[in-house]
Amino acid sequence: MQIERWNSDVDGLLTEEALRRRLEQQGYLVSRYVYPPGTRFPDHSHSIDKVDAVLSGRFRLILEGEEVILQAGDSVAVPRGAVHSAEVVGEEPVVSLDACMP
């Protein structure tokens, strides 16, 4: 699993608009979600390729057995069919952009 991290020296200030624009330029359809503390998603998979990107908060993702904690500016590709789970870490809500290939 490869995490793509926002680099403010190259990408500028991390904003929802800037991250959304980057994902849309890659061909993704983007939706915004806010997950409160305690939110958990059990093992599941999707029939499409997608990217999970975090604007704020901390999100633990386990993808095919590999665990990472995503923070503001981090994104990770989740291939179609890949088994994964996720949960909000800590007391801050997670604001996420969910990017799916049409």
Each domain of the chain, given as residue ranges in start order, spans 3-100
pLDDT recorded at residue 69: 97
pLDDT in tens, 21-80: 999 999 999 999 999 999 999 999 999 999 999 999 999 999 988 999 999 999 999 999
Which strands form 29-35's sheet, in the order they lie side by side?
3-5, 74-78, 50-56, 94-100, 29-35
d(CA 95, CA 73): 11
Question: By three-state DSSP, how is residue 67 classified?
Answer: strand
- Assess if CATH 3.40.50.1820 describes domain 3-100: no
pLDDT recorded at residue 58: 98
Contacts of 33 (CB under 8 A, 6+ apart): 95, 96, 97, 98
